[in-house]
Chain A
Amino acid sequence: MPFVQNSSDISDAYSFMNIDAPVMWYLFMIAIIAAIILLVLKKDMFSIIPTAISAVIFVISLVAVNFRGYYGRNKYDIYSLTNLLSSGNGSDDAKYVLGLGVYVLIVGYILAIAGCFIDIMKYFKKDLGVDSRYLSNSINKSVWKTMYYYRGFYIMFLPVLIMIILFNYWPMAGCRYAFTKYVIAGPYYVGLKHFVQMFTNDLYFWTAFRNTLILSIIKLILNTGAAVIISLLLNEIVSLGFKKTVQTIVYLPHFMSWVVVASVFKMILDPNATGVVNSLLLKANMINEPIYFLGDSKYWRGTFYVMNVWKDTGWGTILFLATLSGISPDLYEAAQIDGANRWKRLIYITLPALANTIITVFILNLAKVMNLFESVFVTMNNAVLDVAEVLQTYVYRKTFSSGNSDYGYTTAVGLFKSFVGMILVLSCNYASKKVRGRGIV
């Protein structure tokens, strides 16, 4: 069995790691920070070098740490590369094959860093790049004089900076725990062990990952579709008062928290005490015994989608309505004179005008796919884990609800989630730039 840790392994890992691996880690961090600083200073070409160095350090530490340290020097002949990449030829009780996940991680890591930097470079050049007309005033001043002039602003930004560093950047640095065994006495380095275990040996993780994608993508499609249909119909209402009333009502659920929505639905779907739906179905003889909508794997997903549509569809119509009200009435008039009926006007005028907004909304929400947490967390229970567990709830439950919480492992799961999220955001950003000419971040 790979990755079963016995006591001798721990001591070996501990003694070896404490000397070498942190050094690797700090070298790695220094290279990354150097890359970022160079980038900020607009030395785009030079920043590639530290990036490449950091990648090399990463691979070296991966090899050194994961195999030599963790399994011990005497077990495997790790000095031969072929042995390392295929299988161990040491003791027969622990044949080891490097999991696919490691390769995916390495390639993904390099791609992401490169992609991120290319993206940032573009960002600096286009959106935030200092316009020459702004520079004209200060071209003769030295940087220090300009900085002195703006001294008040640095103080103004200080609170924001402190908060950002404390609650955004410090946790990012905390991602290093994903590569350690977290014990109170002092975390020690275990290399990529958690990731390999996660990808090769953890069925719950894959279930959670699949559920995250299924739940949030189907939810996104249903919500967007419903919002488009409702805004099209809403746009056809003539009476202004009626329209305003309807809008007020359909926006209302958006302001309820997920706890409230879950509570309301729990009350009306309850199988025994107060459930309206079950009593109606029973009365109509459509079912013989009450359905456990929130406690049965068969029905949970459907109920979840219904709750999502109920809560967010109305709010989703705002953007579509704004677009619809921007369509020139002349177009409709001209079409009407040409004899186009309501259906034809919808197909040839309204939908093309709306298409861009639909894509925009879709992209904006696709970037948030991995963040699914609260809505699932408040509606799930232990009976529906197989269909309801998403990555964030998996992390939460594994850390806070189980007796022996392994912070290192759950950090690794969280890091994977953030990583996929980052790729999604960057690709959505790219798509958004293609579609509407500007990014989402």
Chain B
Amino acid sequence: MSDNSVVVTKKKKKFKIFPLVNGLIFILISLAIMLPIWKVIIDSFDARSAYGFKWVPTMFTWGGYRAIVTRVALYRPFGISCIVTIAGTFLGLLLVTLGGYVLIQWEMPGRNFFAYMLLFTMIFDGGMIPKYLVMKQLHLLNTLWSVILPLSINVYNLVLMRNFFEGIPEALFEAAKIDGCSPMGIFFKIVLPLSKAALASIGLMFAVQFWNDYTNFKIYINKDKLFNFQIKLRNMVMDSDIPNDDAVDPNTISSASVIVAILPFAIIYPFCQKYFVQGVNIGAVKE
């Protein structure tokens, strides 16, 4: 950032056309991203969603959102999404920290074998149908476990966690060992407190993954009762499977549902942007 300020202050005598054009370009880009969302927001408040674009709703209504809160066909999927996201994120973080900590024990017999086992899953994938058949054999089909368990063991995130752990100075472990700390004690008293940022980053990655999960629900679950919000949303928008409501326009309900599906991370994200970005950078730079 400092390099830019240096560059620009030196050119002060000339009229600067480039920064102006550049700013304009980014205003256009931002508009291109925000306008579709704005259109959906307006539609979600508009009882008469009509052809064309409006800046403000013509007939303001809370009907769409009220439908989501009051109708069981809509609030149950939302609840399912919340349950799966919370449970899955915790389970995922647990597995990732345990696995990551074991993988930095270089002297442990079998450590390389475990590392290779994890590595191979990134190279070769069983495929959709064998996974489905395994779920069937485990009698997990049509239970929420079938969508929580397979996503919670994420080898990529585990390797990220391992890299975070590896960044912790060796001397800390040595010192703790000399002071008589057990390996578990080191894990709970030194490793975990030092990797709060990593836990936040990877936890957010897990949460996004579980909240946005569509594929696993589509494959493993075919009971209406257990559908999550993404499945419900897709059925509403693409197949017009919208609960009947005389008072509210169907399009208003589906627009409101889109907004509700975006909302959790739209609220969290601006405050946690640092952690999200951190996760990406560490993944590429220190894999």
**Chain A residues packing against B (C-beta within 8 Å):** 40, 116, 120, 123-124, 128, 130-131, 134-135, 137-138, 143, 146-147, 150, 152-154, 156-157, 159-161, 163-164, 166-175, 177, 230, 233-238, 240, 242, 245-253, 255-260, 262-268, 273-276, 279-280, 310, 314-315, 318-319, 322, 325, 327-329, 332-333, 336, 342, 360-361, 364, 373-374, 377-378, 381, 392, 395-396, 399-400, 407, 410-411, 414-415, 417-418, 421-422, 425-426, 438, 440-441
Contact = CB atoms under 8 A, between A and B. Distances in A.
A247 B26 CA distance: 10
Contact of B125 (A265, A410, A421): A421
Nearest to A306: B32
Given A236-B19, A248-B273, A279-B51, A172 B126 contact: yes
Nearest to A324: B3
**Closest 4 A/B residue pairs (Cβ):** A171-B126, A174-B130, A414-B127, A329-B3
Interface in B5-37: 5-8, 10, 18-19, 22-23, 25-26, 29-30, 32-34, 36-37
Contact of A246 (B1, B30, B212): B30
Contacts of A134: 106-107
Contacts of A441: 119, 122-123
B58 interface: no
A282 to B, nearest CB: 9
Contacts of A168: 121, 126, 153
A230 B238 CA distance: 32
B156 to A, nearest CB: 10
A256 B36 contact: no
B4 to A, nearest CB: 6
Given A166-B138, A260-B261, A407-B133, A381 B6 contact: no
B276 A236 contact: no
Given A168-B126, A263-B254, A250 B30 contact: yes
Given A164-B121, A169-B126, A177-B129, 5 more contacts: A124-B112, A134-B107, A177-B133, A237-B26, A395-B128
Nearest to A146: B109
A415 B29 CA distance: 41
Given A310-B33, A329-B3, A374-B214, A130 B121 contact: no
Contact of A251 (B183, B254, B273): B273
Contacts of B211: 257
Contact of B52 (A235, A246, A276): A276
B281 to A, nearest CB: 5
Contacts of B39: 267-268, 276
17 contacts: A123-B116, A128-B116, A131-B106, A134-B106, A150-B105, A160-B153, A169-B121, A170-B126, A238-B8, A248-B273, A256-B261, A259-B230, A266-B238, A279-B53, A395-B127, A425-B123, A441-B122
Contacts of A258: 212, 214
A409 to B, nearest CB: 9
A378 B234 contact: yes
Interface of B is mostly: helix
A250 B3 contact: no
Given A263-B237, A264-B40, A230 B29 contact: yes
B5 to A, nearest CB: 6
A255 B275 CA distance: 13
Contact of B112 (A130, A248, A257, A266): A130
Contacts of A378: 214, 234, 238
B219 A396 contact: yes
A173 B213 CA distance: 25
Contacts of A245: 30
Given A164-B117, A332-B3, A263 B8 contact: no
A396 B18 contact: no
Contact of A329 (B2, B121, B130, B155): B2
Contacts of B152: 163
Contacts of B169: none
B108 interface: yes
Most chain B CB inside 10 Å of its own CB: which residue of A135, A167, A373: A167
Contacts of B284: 319, 360-361, 364
B181 interface: no
B60 interface: no
A138 B105 CA distance: 13
Contact of A260 (B126, B131, B138, B233): B233
Nearest to A246: B26
Contacts of A252: 33, 266, 269
Contact of A415 (B127, B182, B183, B276): B127
A416 B134 CA distance: 19
Nearest to B26: A246
Nearest to B34: A249
Interface in B96-150: 98-99, 101-102, 105-110, 112-119, 121-134, 138, 149-150
Nearest to A226: B29
A250 B29 contact: yes
A369 B48 CA distance: 43
Contacts of A170: 126, 130, 134
Contact of B258 (A260, A318, A421): A260
Contact of A274 (B51, B129, B182): B51
B167 interface: no
B251 interface: yes
A282 B20 CA distance: 33
A246 B134 contact: no
B108 A153 contact: yes
Nearest to A423: B123
A274 B42 CA distance: 12
A171 B130 contact: yes
A167 B98 contact: no
A328 B18 CA distance: 22
Contacts of B163: none
Contacts of A266: 237-238
A174 B128 contact: no
Most chain A CB inside 10 Å of its own CB: which residue of B5, B23, B94, B270: B23
A329 to B, nearest CB: 3
Contacts of A310: 32-33, 36
Given A160-B153, A236-B18, A259 B130 contact: no
A242 B23 contact: yes
A422 B126 CA distance: 11
Contacts of A328: 3
B184 interface: yes
Contacts of B201: none
